[in-house]
Amino acid sequence: MVSIDELSEKINQRFERLIENSRVAVGELTIDVAPEHLRDICLALRDDAEFDFSMLIDVCGVDYLHYGIAEWETDSATASGFERGVDRSAINHPHLTRPRFAAVYHLLSLNKNQRIRIRVPLDDDNLKVPSVVDVWPAANWFEREAFDLFGIMFVGHPDLRRILTDYGFVGHPFRKDFPLSGKVEPRYDAKLRRVVYEPVNIQPRILEPKVIRRDNRYQTGES
């Protein structure tokens, strides 16, 4: 069986001009590919006997907004802001200098028992990537899900439409700037005999770890 480092070396030699970056971390190989080179690499990884990645495990979207530098804002916990929950070593992480979004593909070679991850960085003003439905039919619903939740457009998809949210849903709920409570809520109106949409009336609530409870058990000098 070829090791992950050997696979990485083969990938770099075979696709030197097509991939932007390649790295092995925690025993997994990830390559970064521009949208215009995605299909060429996918076809080669599937059809070349040296790789034989015949199975697509997953297609998903990623939003790197505030990646690694987000604060937890709270007024009633043990510290202000929770800076200690931020990985400061990630400040110079390549994701922070790359486009905000990415389409990610996970492939499996059944014959060689190997896995590879393909990441396609996408500018937030041009969220378009070629569809791979004709390469791996399993990509059909995965691409629809990424379109629905992140707004990524898969060019060439035979039926690109929402799959989890309602037909009239506005926005993409897995984006980091989408409100947790949503923007509208539906209800059935008995008089109108139809579903109506209204502004959300849920009060936002922040879940806070290690909340300070103000009672006698926590007062200094008390037994």
Q: Which pLDDT score is estimated for 200?
A: 83
Residue 149 CB partners (closer than 8 Å, separation 6+): 61, 164, 165, 172, 173, 174, 175
Please give the chain's pLDDT, 223 residues, in tens.
778 888 889 999 989 889 988 999 888 999 999 999 999 999 999 999 989 999 999 999 999 887 766 555 555 544 444 454 555 555 555 555 568 999 999 999 999 899 999 999 998 888 999 999 999 999 999 999 999 999 999 999 999 999 998 877 888 999 988 887 788 888 899 999 998 888 888 776 655 555 555 666 656 655 4
Residue 118 contacts residue 33 (beta carbons within 8 Å) = yes
Q: Which pLDDT score is estimated for 37?
A: 95
Tell me the domains of the chain and their CATH numbers: 4-64+99-167 (3.30.460.80)
Q: Which pLDDT score is estimated for 136?
A: 96
Residue 29 contacts residue 2 (beta carbons within 8 Å) = no
User: From start to end of 69-132, where are the E strands?
Assistant: 101-109, 114-122, 128-130
Q: Which pLDDT score is estimated for 179?
A: 83
Tell me how far apart the alpha carbons of residues 138 and 161 are, in angstroms, rounded to a whole number. Answer: 16
Q: Which pLDDT score is estimated for 80?
A: 46
Tell me how far apart the alpha carbons of residues 156 and 93 are, in angstroms, rounded to a whole number. Answer: 33
DSSP 8-class letter at 156: T
Helix, strand and coil percent figures for the chain, each rounded to 5: 20, 25, 50
